[in-house]
Structure formats: C-alpha cells, structure tokens
Chain A
C-alpha cells in the first residue's frame, strides 16, 4: 500500500524546503524525500532575488563586457515587470516571491537580515566581487559594500580559498566607497588554514587555548606591521566564514572587543559554514512544522492513473519504496543538480519526463561567447501561475504535479543573480497549490496523532 502523505516534495534544496513549509502551513501532511544530504552547504548562504534583469540586453559588438560590469538593480521588485513574460517571477507573480521570502524569514529568524527593505544589499564575497543580495546572514551584515567605513579583510595561512590581499585589491578596483586592506595571519592553536572549516569553527566555538583572543591579537599586529591601514584606522574586520557553528555571535563579539572594530564573515566557497547553518536552521523549521524527512533515496519511477501521479517510487539502496501522495512537488534542481539532464540529442527531466523546451539542434544550446546568453542556462520545465508543470501544448501535465526551483526553466540564475529568489517564489507557489490539490476524500494526515 505504500507510505501515504498528502504532499510529497521531491528534492531538498531551498525550493523543496520552501515548498514543504508552504504546503505544511496550508494544513497538509508533508514528506520531503531527497537523493542526498541538502546541498545548501554548497551555497554561499547569500539569498539573492534579482541583481541583473535582462543581463544580455545590449550585448553585442563589444563582447567581453559581461553583465557584472553593469550596475545591479537597486530594487529587484521594481525590475520584475521588465523581465520576459515566461520568467518564473512573471509567471508565479510578485505575491509568491513575497510569500516565499516571508517563509524564509520565518524559518531563519535572527540568523538572517535584510527583511527591512526591498532594496538589494551589496555583499563582498570571497572572490572580491560584490553580490546584490536580498537576504544575508547576520554574520556578514557589518561587511556591506554600501557602508563607507574602512575595512580590513583577514585570511589564514594555508587557506587557498581566502586570499585576503587579493580580495582587498579586487574590492578597491571595483570602486568601493571605503578604504580596504588585506592581511594574512596564522590561525591560533594547532590548526591552520588547510584544516576544514568545520574544525576551525569548532575550535573557535570551544575557544580552545583562548583562540579568540589570540586571533584578535594576531590580526592587530599584522595590521600594524602591514603597509595599509593600521588597526586603529579600521572600523570593521572581515574573516573567513569559520566564526563558529554553534556560537557565532559570541565569537564575533569577542573578536570585535579585541579589535575594537565590527566583525563580519566573508561569504565563502563551498562547503560553507553559512550554508551549513542555513541548512540546520531550515531542518529545524521543517521538523517544527511536522514535515517528515527522508534523506538519501532518489526517486526513480512512478505510476500514473487518470492524469494523476498515483505512486512515486524511491530507490532505497536496492529495493523500491512506494509513496502514495495526493500531490507531488518536483524540486530536483537544474542542470548542475541533476533535475535536468541531457544527451547529445535531447534535454529532459529524468524523474517524470516532463516537457523541457529546447532546440533540436544542439549547437543552439550554447552561445559562442563564454559569457553570452546561453540557451542551456534557461533549460527547464515550464509552469503555470499555480506552479503546475506544463506539457508541450501548455496544459498541465498531471493535475497533481507542481515544480519549483532550478528544475523550472525560463530564467538564467547565474547571470541574473536570481537563483534563491526563484526557489523561494516557485517553492511557495508549488507548495501552496500542492496543498490545495489535496482532496478531502483521503485519510487523516500521517503526522496527526489520534
């Protein structure tokens, strides 16, 4: 008979988790089944909504100019109207985007900031670039590029991911409105920059050997020895994002005391502590909402009856586990995440074989210009305003199948800087319509006790 829940969400990234929360809030019993551990720890922890709408407008003769060189939009909401009609934001609407952001804010609580404004924040990253972002961890708040206070960036000996001097140089070259300098110090204690971020974080959590004080002292000395700003000239100091997993606030405040400056983290390369913290926070939110989590089982097959998905089969190591939900949310990610796949002659969606619009000529899939408008960047299934997946004729493929996040096409997340926002907006829409599709005729929800 299989495992029965009202809503089955397939995929555990930001979109899937948002869909699960939205469906659960609408009263459905929800199960989230994922192929592997959440990939949020691969992410920087920054949540963008829209930085560069229509990034390839005006691309032309002077190739080599890419979207990054242009200024980001100050307010993503104002720019939605200018997007193409099949962009997910236009399809599910601003209301869903706001709903998704509200769900995110509820789930993350004091871990994240940015809720106070619609405007983009400009966050310096580990690459020395500035990323337009709608929500960001509280730990990076003191580092915003729009802030005019002077800044020092710190790297650790041995850490090849964070080159503090280079970050400072890049920021300066980008024309930030403040003075910035970079220094590299040894991590206190037995560890160094080659050790895992989680170990460095743990050492600071435990304050082994008064590591926090030692670190602050080393940074002060390094700043005074370096040619750039001295420690007294610096208003804020950015560190690699390893400032604690369990006690990040305490660590930042200890370092701030020692340096007499604000302290922040620079969003890192994966795997990232900010991504890990976000993952744990979301997992807690899902548990609180009563969402059942099944992790490590890819969905491999399904049965269809009367235009509805009846049974979904997950592969559990070798045996197949049947799930019989009333509605299904597909949130398996895009080309990188495996939610969309391709062969030499076709692009397809591997779980339900949903329609993925694409040219039959594979040479149309990419652009000759590396940073040009690649068609593949927009590959994905198409949805309607209720996030239902559409077939080639533009009709719902199955009445109880919605989709969210990277598996949805029609937008270019990397150049637009819109991946998280689209996940939140479509996740919210998909979760809500999945819950609405649950009929009254079914058994009481699984999560409800007698």
Chain B
C-alpha cells in the first residue's frame, strides 16, 4: 500500500479545473470545479480512518465540488444535505432506467443467484423496484443487495435497456456507506477482499512465504472462523516474479518497442509505423498469472505492436461488487489518468481479463465522472478482440503453427465469463481457437461459474457459489477436454476448484500458435 500513497497524493494535487472544459460524459452538475477531493491521506488500503463513516462522506463530497456522488453525500454527517427533487441528480439519473422497466421479469429468470437461492428477490427488485422504494426517506436498502454477485447478466437479458447493474452498484454502495457497520468484521473482510491488489503487493514481495502461510490449514481455519473467508478454497499462489518486474528486467518499454519494430520489419510492414498498445493487466495477471501477461506481450509484439504498461491499480471490479465505491473511485482515477494520456496520443488500451475491460468500458462511465473516462472507454478492447478487428488474425492463425504437432494441450473446455458475455465476447474464443490447427475448444454452456470475483470467497456465499457452478462443472466433466479455459481469473479458480482441471488463458494458446511459427515448421 505504501507505493500507492504518492500516486494518490499526486492525484489530489492535480486541479480538476479543466474538467468542465472537455468532460462530455458527465452530468452538468458534475462539471463545477474546485480542487479534486482526495485530499485525505488514506488511500484505498484498508487502514484505519478511511471507511469510517465520517471520513468516507467527507472525501466524496468534495469531489467535483458538488454533490457529485449524491447518494453517498447525504447521510450520517448531516453536514451537507442538498434538497433536490431527485436525490441523485448529481449522479447518474436512474429514473429513466426505473421507468423503462415494464416488469417482465426476464432479468429474474437470467439471474444465477435467484436460480439457486430462494431468499434472493432478484435483479428486478434490486434495481428498479428498490430505486422506487427509496424515493421515500425512511426506506433502507434491503440487506439482500449483498447477495447480488455483480455478474451483470441481467443487463444483457433486459429487453428494455434498464441499466440494472448500474442500479445495483449504486444501491450496494449506498448500503455499504449508510447501513453496513464500519466496525464489523464483515465490512473489513469485504474491504480486504475488495482491495486484493494491496494484499497481492505484499504477497508478491515474499511470494514463497506468503504462499506457505496462505496454504496453512491453521490460517485457513482462522480465515473461516474469524473473517468469514471460506477455508474450502485454496488461495491462489503468488508468482515468484511479477509481470511488471519481468517487464522491467527485460528492458521495459525500449525492449518492447525494439521487438515490435523488428516484427514489423519481418512482416514487411512499415518499420516506422506507430503501432503501440497500452496493456491494462490488472492485479491478477501481474501477481498471480504473469504467464498470461507475458503471452499477451509476445503475441502483440509478434503483430508489430509495442506493448506499454503504464502505472495502474486494480480495475475496481471487486470494489464495485463489494459496494466500496470510494475505493474503486480512487483506483479508477489513477487508471483513467494514466491511460487517457496514452489514448490521447493514439494508443489503444487492451486487457486480458474481461472484468477489467468491463470496468474500463462500462462501469467507469456509469459510475464515475472522472475526466477522460469516456475517451478511455471508447478505446479499450479485449486483447483478442483487438487483433480480430485491426489485424488479420484469422489469416495469421490459418498460417500459424499446427499445435497438434508441438505436443501442446489440444482440447479445452471453455467457459465464457459473465463479464465477457456482457461485452458480446462470449463466442469469440471458440471461434478464434477453431482456426488453430490441432486445437479444439468446446463451450461448456452459458451458465455462470458462480464465483463472481470475491463473492464465492465469502463463507456465507460459498454454498450458493458452488450451486451456481454445478452446471458448469457437469458440462466440463461431460466433455472430452481435461484442460479448462477462460479469460477471467476468478472463473478459472472456480473451474479448477470444481473439477481439478488445469486452466489456461486463450492468449497462451495464441502465443503458441502465432509466435515463432517459423520455428515450429508448420504451414
């Protein structure tokens, strides 16, 4: 957490007065200036003060100079309670969303949690109905909001474009802000899980020690009994070398630029072309699965792209899901600032994790009014999607290595993460890998894996999580493949947990297929 502090301090010092000038993506009420609010010392890490009720509200109120995140401003402090017709007028106006709902209940039918938990009232209640109930002041957010796993399936199920996940995120944040006891273990447990990146930094500093500790059954029992983190799951191991330190060691940006130039020369492209992408790797690929991040780098370099890795924090996904919107906002600010600079320079953003791309593309614009959010959102892509659009990936794969000859895994049970589904990416991997000789990727159906990030780590949700996952486990076991595949790190944990399969990322297969295909002697 220590090296986060300076970043955010810089953030705090940066005036937001040009916000109004070019922020096309926020409501007028957000535009007014004033210095940006995060003057507090307490960066997102779960330290003492931030997250105490008073602190949180203070921090939020200042941002943008008005009741920007209006829902969270009013509340216990009583210091600032603007009287507005629509209490969230400074925030996204959710009224049209509520009015668009014609109560067809299709979202409830598509909700994986409602499917297995009879006490969960479903997305229609959590979204439009709760929003209407909340128009009356004495109405609390219903506790059941904590049962929503933020899979966001209701979004694409809705035939009337109701922004359900946005309504859930907003309600959950309000619930955590106003109703969840900040001294409760549950709050701190959620905070800890949501701020996984902070833990991971520590873990990566002493990976072997941390892995040993986290794997210790006494520690697991403590986690279960005291924190409510299930002992059924094994903590993901930290890599002995993070992706970022690998990247730095191999020569940083200069090396990638050089590799890309060489690749362009070999491909017969303009050697001096400006082909660069900015990689949002997120925490997991950095700390736990650097092989995925490295695969992305080598695939993109082979297509002639220099891969830049600007300073970044967690995408915020686990924070949204835990109602920790203040934490998420802090992380988002760093990410948007660092990436929007590059985007304005003509560099597109690519992600290997579909929840990260989801956050940058959809959740940031829906939840925050940070300068540059819209620009970043409009230029962010899933890594494979990017190559499909801007390169002849199909042609490249057709000429690529025949993996059946290289002895690699050839059959995969592919699970499309909900957040990939939500971006319309659920069919992509099976389509793309279908072009690779010697590889067969079979879709294991459209059920949710059930883990939904930190959700399935909580003792009280573990059982629901596994019940939701049952269908996927069954389909994985029904197929021929004994290796799993998915883009999402926590879906991968769940797949492994439920079946014992090794899980790969599609980029790892692409790397074998298109990188060094001269050496493999195919085609």
Contact = CB atoms under 8 A, between A and B. Distances in A.
Interface of A: 1-4, 33, 36-37, 39, 41-42, 190-191, 195-199, 202, 270-271, 276, 292-297, 314, 316-322, 337, 446-447, 449-450
B114 A196 contact: yes
Given A1-B390, A317-B358, A446-B431, 11 more contacts: A3-B389, A36-B159, A36-B161, A196-B114, A198-B109, A270-B105, A271-B108, A295-B156, A319-B380, A450-B435, A450-B437
A191 B389 CA distance: 48
Nearest to B376: A318
Contacts of A316: 361, 385, 423-425
B290 interface: no
Interface of B: 104-106, 108-110, 114-115, 118, 122, 155-159, 161, 357-358, 361-362, 365, 374, 377-381, 385, 388-392, 394, 398, 421-427, 431, 434-435, 437
A242 to B, nearest CB: 12
Contacts of B114: 196, 199
B394 to A, nearest CB: 6
10 contacts: A2-B389, A3-B388, A36-B157, A36-B158, A196-B105, A197-B109, A270-B105, A270-B106, A337-B159, A450-B435
Contacts of B426: 293, 295
Question: What 5 A-B pairs have minimum CB-CB distances, sorted nearest first?
Answer: A318-B377, A317-B361, A297-B424, A296-B424, A296-B156
Contacts of A3: 388-389
Contacts of A447: 431, 434
A37 B156 contact: yes
Given A292-B431, A318-B374, A318-B377, A450 B104 contact: no
B431 A319 contact: no
Contacts of A317: 357-358, 361-362, 377, 422-423
Nearest to B108: A196
Contact of B109 (A39, A191, A276): A276
A50 to B, nearest CB: 26
Given A292-B431, A295-B156, A195 B392 contact: no
B154 to A, nearest CB: 10
A297 B110 CA distance: 18
B134 to A, nearest CB: 23
Contacts of A314: 424
A369 B354 CA distance: 52
Main secondary structure of the interface of B (DSSP, over half): helix
Nearest to B422: A296
A446 B390 CA distance: 16
B389 A41 contact: no
B421 A42 contact: no
B397 to A, nearest CB: 9
Contacts of B156: 36-37, 295-296
Contact of B435 (A271, A321, A449): A449
A39 B159 CA distance: 7
Nearest to B445: A280
B421 A271 contact: no
Nearest to A321: B389
Contacts of B391: 1
B104 A198 contact: no
B106 A318 contact: no
Contacts of A190: 118
A448 to B, nearest CB: 9
Contacts of A297: 423-424
Counting chain B CB atoms within 10 Å of each CB, the highest count among A190, A195, A276, A319 belongs to A319
Contact of A41 (B109, B421, B425): B109
A295 B424 contact: yes
Contacts of A271: 104-106, 108-109
Contact of B398 (A1, A319, A320, A450): A450
Contacts of A199: 114-115, 118
A209 B138 CA distance: 42
Counting chain A CB atoms within 10 Å of each CB, the highest count among B104, B109, B379, B437 belongs to B109
Nearest to B380: A319
A338 to B, nearest CB: 8
B122 A196 contact: yes
Contacts of B423: 296-297, 316-317
A69 B427 CA distance: 47
Nearest to A273: B109
Contact of B427 (A292, A337, A449): A292
A293 B427 contact: yes
Nearest to B25: A318
Counting chain B CB atoms within 10 Å of each CB, the highest count among A36, A197, A202, A337 belongs to A36
A294 B424 CA distance: 5
A191 B117 CA distance: 11
Contact of A37 (B105, B157, B374, B381): B157
A3 B393 CA distance: 10
Contacts of A270: 104-106
B269 to A, nearest CB: 14
Contacts of A337: 159
A276 B446 CA distance: 13
Contacts of A33: 424
Nearest to B426: A295
A295 B156 CA distance: 8
Contacts of A292: 427, 431
Contacts of A39: 159
B104 A446 contact: no
Contacts of B422: 296, 317
A2 B259 CA distance: 25
Nearest to A194: B118
A447 B157 CA distance: 27
B118 A198 contact: no
B362 A322 contact: no
B379 A319 contact: yes
A406 to B, nearest CB: 13
A43 to B, nearest CB: 11
Contacts of B390: 1
Nearest to B106: A271
Nearest to B159: A39
B254 to A, nearest CB: 29
A39 B156 CA distance: 11
Contacts of B109: 41, 196-198, 271, 276
Nearest to B348: A319
Nearest to A192: B118
A319 B343 CA distance: 13
Contacts of B389: 1-3, 321-322
Contact of A42 (B108, B159, B161): B159
Contacts of B362: 317-318
Nearest to A272: B109
B274 to A, nearest CB: 18
Contacts of A195: 118
B410 to A, nearest CB: 14
A282 to B, nearest CB: 14
A296 B423 CA distance: 6
Contacts of A197: 109
A337 B160 CA distance: 9
Nearest to B446: A283
Contact of A295 (B106, B374, B421): B421
A157 B140 CA distance: 30
Nearest to A318: B377
A202 B391 CA distance: 45
B516 to A, nearest CB: 19
B434 A319 contact: no
